[in-house]
Chains A and B, each alone.
Chain A
């Protein structure tokens, strides 16, 4: 019984880790879209410069963002070849990105101060 719950806790921690990574990836996509409208390949390209990701996950993620109404899409011709499907932030997407960003910076600040050792009083 004890072993079982320990395994459960470990698994839960693992989920949290994945959930965390997924959330970060979503935040990266949203942040990249605040700069300008981008297409799927472009997004993966930008993210891959810094973080290694499985490229197939970008489309399920983008579909989710579209389903909840954070982004919309439009097609645009390209000089290089095939037309690209561009993703554009909606008003609610812009709002949520702002909130997520400030949450993120707040979180990082707190963790960094913890890692530097001790609370503020010391």
Chain B
């Protein structure tokens, strides 16, 4: 009895981080397995031995759970979590992939910043040009108000288009990262499973 309890507690401890209902569901599965084993007169020790390491079982389930979640909804917190779970699975990858992720994210951030600045410059330029007649006496030259107004409206519009383009790019990168993580998890899982199957 004690060993079974110990195994389930160990499994639960290692599953921490995924939704509570999912954990309960998994523990229920394993309890059912123990119960049926007991009905058929199988010793608990033997069942525990046949299960293998609860840590490995938990990691397989967790990795699967995070990827499922990341696929279901696009949020920065989810992707970060998925990245760290994968990285946690394999220290090897952190060395290679973290700088790559960092570079990708900074390029993306720079592109967003550029789009916002162009858009903001366009909008403020438009507004400023509209008020040009008010302070035209300060300029030594005179121009038709319409010229800068339209030029700045064009600039603002291209800033907005740029921003929309950035969103598409971000989505594409997100999908690629999820794909990469899936590949990674299958590889890491296999490495851990060498003696498991």
Task: Give A contacts to B, CB under 8 Å.
Answer: 14-15, 18-19, 21-22, 25, 39-41, 53-57, 59-60, 63-64, 67, 80-85
Residues of B contacting A54 in the complex (Cβ-Cβ under 8 angstroms): 50-52, 196-197
Docked Cα-Cα span, A14 to B193, in Å, equals 11
In the complex, what's the smallest C-beta–C-beta distance from B114 to chain A, in angstroms?
A: 39
Given contacts A55-B50, A56-B52, contact A81 B197 (CB under 8 A): no
Q: How far is the CA of A14 from the CA of B191 in the complex (A)?
A: 8
Please tell me if the beta carbons of A82 and B39 are within 8 angstroms of each other in the complex: yes
Residues in A with CB closer than 8 Å to B193 are 18, 22, 57
Residue B186, interface by CB 8 Å: yes
19 contacts between A and B (CB under 8 A): A18-B191, A18-B193, A19-B190, A22-B193, A40-B32, A41-B32, A53-B197, A54-B52, A55-B50, A56-B54, A57-B57, A57-B193, A57-B197, A59-B29, A59-B61, A60-B61, A82-B35, A83-B32, A85-B32
**Per-residue CB proximity of B106-146 to A under 8 Å, as 1/0?**
00000000000000000000000000000000000000000
List of B residues within 8 angstroms of A80 by Cβ:
36, 39
* New contact pairs (15) apart from A18-B197, A56-B54, CB-CB < 8 Å: A14-B194, A15-B191, A21-B197, A22-B190, A22-B193, A40-B32, A40-B33, A54-B197, A57-B196, A59-B61, A60-B60, A67-B64, A81-B35, A83-B32, A84-B36
CB distance from B30 to the nearest CB of A (A): 7
Is B187 on the interface with A (CB-CB < 8 A)? yes
A15–B197 CB distance below 8 A:
no
**Nearest neighbor of A19 in chain B, beta-carbon distance:** B190
Complex Cα distance A3/B70, Å?
38
Tally of A-B residue pairs with Cβ under 8 A?
A: 80
B196 CB contacts on chain A under 8 angstroms: 54, 56-57
**Contact indicator B33/A41 (Cβ below 8 Å):** yes
The CA of A53 and the CA of B64, in the complex, are separated in Å by 20
Which residues from chain B contact A67 at a C-beta distance below 8 Å? 64, 68
Q: Mark B172-197, 1 if CB is under 8 A from A, else 0.
A: 00000000000000110011011011
Query: Are B26 and A59 touching (Cβ within 8 A)?
Result: yes
B47 interfacial by beta-carbon distance below 8 Å:
yes
B37 at the binding interface (Cβ < 8 Å): yes
Closest to B61 in A: A60
Q: Are B37 and A25 in touch, CB under 8 angstroms? A: no
Q: With the chains together, A59 CA to B64 CA distance in Å?
A: 12
Contact B197 A25 (CB under 8 A): yes
A82 touches B29 (CB 8 A): no
Cβ-defined contact, A64 with B197, below 8 A: no
A15 and B30 CA atoms in complex are apart in Å by 28
Note all chain A residues with C-beta closer than 8 A to B30: 59
A85 to B30, CA, bound (A): 11
Interface string of B31-47 (1 = CB under 8 A from A): 01101110100000001
Collect the chain B residues with CB atoms within 8 Å of residue A41's CB. 32-33, 36-37
